[in-house]
Structures are given as structure tokens and as C-alpha cells.
């Protein structure tokens, strides 16, 4: 068995024309993703409406998440959110001066993220 550490802060491209989303682990009920944003945000009037509950933590950078039924929240490094299944949300902005690095854990039957 060859077990090696990896870093959530490694291998980040200098140019990010689109948000980078990488699945780090997945089974039928859990998906763990690393998401890297730099100035990225959701399309206007586009909402994530996911079948799974999502726990997300911002490890680096800054971001603001908007909700269909609640006030927006700003996130700084170390801030996390628990987004219940079908909690309509969107990324309103992310920092442009550095990568915003997220760790997202989706719990429940896995499906493709809906936007």
C-alpha cells in the first residue's frame, strides 16, 4: 500500500479562466471536492439547488454566498456553512487578488451538481 499526503494548496493553475472543481473522494453517499475560484461567481439568476446536503469551508480567500430565501453571507478563511438539500444558493463574488480555496463535502445520494 502506498499512502502519500496531498495538499489542498498545491497544483493551483496561475490562470483560472473557469472555476476549478476537483473530486477528491466519492462513493454512493459522500463526495468531497476541492473548488478553486478567482473572481468567479454564479451566473445572474442561476441557483444551485442540490439534492444533497453540502458542508463547505473556505480555506483561503474571500467570498459571498447569496440565498434565495435568506440574506447573503460573507466568508473569510475558516468560515463554513451547512447548506441543507435544496437550499437555493449562489456564489455572488470571490476575491480577485488571490485564489479562494474551498473544501466541499456533499452528503446523500450523489448526483451531478445542478445550477
Smallest CA-to-CA distance from 91 within 65, 114, 72 is with 65
- CATH number, residue 89: 2.60.120.10
Is residue 11 included in any domain, yes or no? Answer: no
Q: Is the pTM of this model over 0.85?
A: yes
- The predicted pLDDT at position 40 comes to 95
Q: If you compute the radius of gyration of the chain from its CA atoms, what whole number of angstroms results?
A: 14
Number of domains making up the chain: 1
User: pLDDT > 90: what percent of the chain?
Assistant: 84
Is residue 12 included in any domain, yes or no? Answer: no
DSSP 3: -
Strand ordering across the sheet containing 53-60: 20-26, 30-37, 100-107, 53-60, 80-83
Is residue 115 included in any domain, yes or no? Answer: no
Q: Residue 92 belongs to what domain range?
A: 20-107
Amino acid at each position: 500500500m502506498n499512502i502519500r499526503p496531498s495538499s489542498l494548496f498545491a497544483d493551483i493553475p496561475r490562470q483560472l479562466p473557469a472555476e476549478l472543481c476537483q473530486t477528491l473522494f466519492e462513493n454512493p453517499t459522500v463526495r468531497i471536492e476541492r473548488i478553486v475560484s478567482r473572481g468567479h461567481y454564479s451566473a445572474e439568476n442561476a441557483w444551485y439547488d442540490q439534492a444533497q446536503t453540502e458542508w463547505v469551508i473556505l480555506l483561503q480567500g474571500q467570498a459571498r454566498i447569496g440565498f434565495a430565501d435568506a440574506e447573503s453571507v460573507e466568508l473569510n478563511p475558516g468560515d463554513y456553512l451547512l447548506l441543507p438539500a435544496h437550499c437555493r444558493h449562489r456564489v455572488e463574488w470571490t476575491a480577485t487578488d488571490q485564489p479562494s480555496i474551498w473544501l466541499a463535502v456533499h452528503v446523500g445520494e450523489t448526483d451531478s451538481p445542478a445550477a
